[in-house]
Structure 1
């Protein structure tokens, strides 16, 4: 598809320091395949996690996004409600980041951008990665849900019979992008007549 940048939908991708950095990386790849403009912000902890969980460098991850912001850049475009986006995904989302968003006390661009999506009534999906959960975690989940976010823990769908880690990741991200109206073609959709059929 050959469209101008102004005509392309935009999604903000936040990557926090929780385990599961592959979700954020693969999200950027899928958005590129869908011709969706991606705006990336990573926390400092996410950069540390990247070193442990991936062979990719920071430069390689940044190159997957259309626009990249420093997490300290509170004046960035995505910190303003006047900057039009379809919404935001935090993949993965740490409990710390979720708690900042739930309280509205935003000390970084990542949490500020999420807060902006909530106040503008745009879709915000948090792929929360933590287990087990204590009561404080659960209360933060309830608070952020009441504020309008969708808490989407990346729980694998075994009915899809994934043959690899990559298939499990793609299925979860495909379901997340379903929430924005984007079909990645990576979701094996449930059909009670013949089990999990590929596509829709």
Structure 2
């Protein structure tokens, strides 16, 4: 059976991360399940020129946020991990407090309760105390907060290279064995 990866896209800047994750997962023969919030679609349109249908075409399966009866809302649907890229502070707060008020936050809650990997590419700066406390809460539940901060030790030549490297690291954290982030080999 192919590995399955749930990808959430919310209303924070950084839609390029979700797009790269979907495309790279396809290259690695990983089945993708996409949930994009309305604000996430707005950002994908503004930042990448993609509407909902063009974005959803990048995934194997796509769901509306209101589709709480979708297969990914159940722990019986086995997945390798879920990545929210980017993760808005609103979505972080809902996940940290177990609200499950839409398919994205329900799928994240299922990921946590099943002790699967949940990776949140949180996008906000600077952080306020509520943001930090919500990240602590998610971390205490077993989630991973992964602000998409670029590494410069590999001398990236473009934004695309920085996005690709962050996405590769996230895929490795998600347990996708074929992911190949660049490693630091010392000076």
Q: RMSD value over aligned CA atoms? A: 1.0
Contact 1:40 1:62 in 2 (8 A): yes
Displaced runs of 4+ in structure 1, greater than 4 A?
A: none
Deviates more, 1:58-67 or 1:69-78: 58-67
Alignment map for 1:177-192 (pairs within 5 Å): 177-179=171-173, 180-185=175-180, 187-192=181-186
Instruction: Provide the residue aligned with 2:157 in structure 1.
Output: 163
Work out the CA distance in 2 between the residues paired with 1:62 and 1:145.
29
Number of residues of Structure 1 aligned to a counterpart in Structure 2: 186
Q: Please state whether the residue corresponding to 1:189 is helix, strand or coil.
A: coil
Question: Structure 2 stretches of 5 or more lacking a match?
Answer: none
Instruction: Provide the residue aligned with 1:4 in structure 2.
Output: none
Contact 1:10 1:37 in 2 (8 A): yes
Identify which of structures 1 and 2 has the higher relative contact order when contacts are C-alpha pairs closer than 8 Å and 6+ apart. 2
Match of 2:35 among 23, 38, 41: 41
Work out the CA distance in 2 between the residues paired with 1:33 and 1:122.
23
Following superposition, the deviation at residue 178 of structure 1 comes to 1.1
Work out the CA distance in 2 between the residues paired with 1:176 and 1:183.
12
Following superposition, the deviation at residue 176 of structure 1 comes to 0.7
Contact 2:41 2:51 in 1 (8 A): no
TM norm structure 2? 0.96
Instruction: Provide the residue aligned with 2:75 in structure 1.
Output: 81
TM norm structure 1? 0.90
Question: Structure 1 stretches of 5 or more lacking a match?
Answer: 1-6, 194-200
Which structure: larger Rg? 1
Match of 1:154 among 148, 165, 170: 148
Following superposition, the deviation at residue 61 of structure 1 comes to 1.2
Contact 1:174 1:183 in 2 (8 A): no
Contact 2:34 2:63 in 1 (8 A): yes
Match of 2:62 among 68, 73, 76: 68
